[in-house]
Amino acid sequence: MACKKNTAEALKCYTEAAQLGIVEAEFSLGRLHEQGIDLVKDTDKAIQHYKNAEAKGLISAKFKRLELEAALKNDSAAQFHLGKCYLSGEGVKKDVLQGVQQLLLAADNKYGPAKKLLQDNSSIIYDLARDFSEGRSKTKNPILARKLYEIVEKYGNEFDKPAAEEELAAMPVEIAASIYSHSS
């Protein structure tokens, strides 16, 4: 089947291929609808195509679906699962900081499993805070370190919470002031 380089033809070809069970075509349909390339952007259709591709075993489709649901629908369950994907590297490059950010969104929306996962991973978050505090990561970032310590202080386990509290107490007042002046 020969496809011209235009969206209408691509949509037709991808639809035919998806109906034949070609998972990559289902994923491509999701991308077309998500991005609205030469057609009306339709997040619900994009999510459905990603779900279909995910059901056929395409892990990256799960990530794209969760990403859309988390961001566009403020869906706490999607934020939680997206955070888990980032923490584990499932379907996406592992990114602990991004994972923590997604879990925090879900936890702040009172999603219990996110709070539990933050608690279960508080040692990792604490270590990441120390990396930013001491410059062991790509860059030294005491403001980000403080935010991470605050997450551990709020959601951490019985071992990491006191250590985070100590770190926060030892941080200069100027860092706290700069955080809260940026968030206003």
pLDDT digits (tens, 9 = 90+) for 133-149: 988 877 889 999 999 99
Write down the domain spans for the chain. 1-73
Residue 139, number of CB atoms within 10 A of its CB: 8
Q: Is the pLDDT of residue 176 over 60?
A: no
pLDDT digits (tens, 9 = 90+) for 6-21: 778 888 899 999 999 9
Query: Are 131 and 83 spatial neighbours (Cβ–Cβ below 8 Å)?
Result: no
Q: Would the pTM count as exceeding 0.85? A: no
Phi, psi of 4 (to 5 degrees): -75, 165
Percent helix, percent strand, percent coil in the chain, to nearest 5: 75, 0, 25
- Please tell me the predicted confidence (pLDDT) of residue 23: 93
pLDDT digits (tens, 9 = 90+) for 68-96: 888 777 889 999 999 998 999 987 889 99
Q: What's the mean per-residue pLDDT of the chain?
A: 87
